[in-house]
Amino acid sequence: MAPEGAFKNRAKTGATLEEVARHAGVSPATVSRCLNSPDLVRPALKSKVEAAIRLLDYVPHGGARSLASRRSRMIGAIFPILDTTLFGRTLEALQQEVGEAGYTLVVASYGYDLEREQHHVRNLLTSGIDALVLVGGIRDDSVYRLIERNGVPYVLIWISESDGERPCIGFDNAEAARRAARHLLDMGHSRIGVISGFVKDNDRAAARIAGTRSALAEQGLTLDESLVLERPFGSTEGREAFRLLMTRRPRPTAVICGSEPFAYGALFEAQALGLKVPDEVSITGFDDFWLAAQMTPGLTTVRTPQSEMGRLAGRHLLSVLAGEEAVPPSPLDVELIVRGSTGPPPADAP
């Protein structure tokens, strides 16, 4: 019922700076100054202008402003997903940090689909963002080129590229996984299963598996590839993968989960299978969301600096935009949180 001729009713635009000037009996330039450098304006005039602004519900036109000043006061952030809790804290902290500085946050999510991410990069650049936050480092070089050619500063979060080629604010995913693995190895485990997100196009997931592998190597062990399962992130997927791992013979005595929802699922499934945790099987998570501490047994996990990455990414970009010589901080720390879900392997293990 919507014939295509029905377009064209452009909303009445709000008041303009010039109208405000007229109402206040001053020049447009003065109104502009009231907004941008109030100290340069005599208080008497300033209050007249402010009254006019309120009277007209005047809001500056960001487009015009960014056209004239070459800055939009917007910062973009592109996340793999938004609907889970995975990036929630990072997003919240980032929004807070830039919001306090008067910046506005533009977000997008791409469902781990690099093509969609690239599309979003274009869109956000068009929107005129002054800076950009991206997750991880895997993407086509052309995307980086595009960003750089447009003079937009950016940071990659959730990773710490050791080669320092691009500015990163995050932690060493491999080392984090290594911590969890060493913890299990120290307790005597040697047959270890892994539930991971898809490694393709995801350097965090890849690094975590690599870290696990290297921890085993330190002990002269190798990771049995048949015990490495890749799944879409989610607790249901974790349950299913865990069940599968438990059918392998000899059965793994511990399972390292590359993302915490997997671990929740594994723990629930262990309970459903009647497997005692940690007596019969140990489980580790990755991130330490609120649920990890509430479950019984509590989940042993690696705590990642989720909020801090958001906060620091914002702060870094703001200072770059302020013209400061900012260097990204060195890799952030992670912490192994030992709770009840891990223990020595069962005595009768092979």
Partner DNA sequence: CTGTTAGCGCGTTCAA
Partner DNA sequence: TTGAACGCGCTAACAG
Residues that bind DNA (CB under 7 A): 13, 16-18, 26-30, 32-33, 35-36, 40-42, 44-45, 58, 60-61, 64-65, 67-69
Q: Which does 89 bind (CB under 5 to 8 A by kind): its own copies, DNA, none?
A: its own copies
Q: Which residue's CB is nearer to its own copies, number 207 or number 320?
A: 320
Structure tokens at 219: 């002990």
* 10 token code pair: 């452009």
Q: Which does 124 bind (CB under 5 to 8 A by kind): its own copies, DNA, none?
A: its own copies
Tokens of 24: 């206040």
Q: How far is the CB of 47 from its own copies (least distance, A)?
A: 19
- Name the binder of 327 from DNA, its own copies, none, CB < 5-8 A by kind: none
Interstrand relation of 254-257 and 282-284 (parallel, antiparallel or unpaired): parallel
Closer residue to its own copies in complex, CB, 220/323: 323
Helix, strand counts (H, E) of the chain: 13, 11
Nearer Cβ to DNA (68/293): 68
Contacts by 53-57, CB closer than 8 A, 24 or more apart: 53/20, 55/23, 56/14, 56/15, 56/19, 56/20, 56/23, 57/14, 57/15
* CB-nearer residue toward its own copies: 117 or 175: 117
Select from its own copies, DNA, none the partner in contact with residue 40, using the beta carbon and a kind-dependent cut-off of 5 to 8 Å: DNA
Could you tell me if 66 and 104 are in contact, meaning their C-beta atoms sit under 8 angstroms apart? no
Q: How far is the CB of 127 from its own copies (least distance, A)?
A: 5
With vertex at residue 93, the alpha carbon angle to CA 199 and CA 307, rounded to the nearest 5 degrees, is 55
Residue 45 contacts which entry, its own copies, DNA, none (Cβ below 5-8 A, type-dependent): DNA
Cα–Cα distance for residue pair 298/177, rounded to 1 Å: 18
For residue 196, list its beta bridge partners: 230
Question: At its nearest, how many Å lie between DNA and the CB of residue 311?
Answer: 27
Give CA angle at 314 (311, 320), nearest 5°.
140
CB 248 within 8 A of CB 265: no
The listed partner (DNA, its own copies, none) that binds 41, CB under 5 to 8 Å by sort, is DNA
Minimal distance, residue 301 CB to its own copies, in Å: 16
Residue type at 18 in one-letter notation: E
- Looking at the Cβ atoms of 189 and 311, the one nearer to its own copies is 311
Work out how close the CB of 152 gets to DNA at its nearest, in angstroms, rounded to a whole number. 14
Nearest distance, CB of residue 219 and its own copies, angstroms: 34
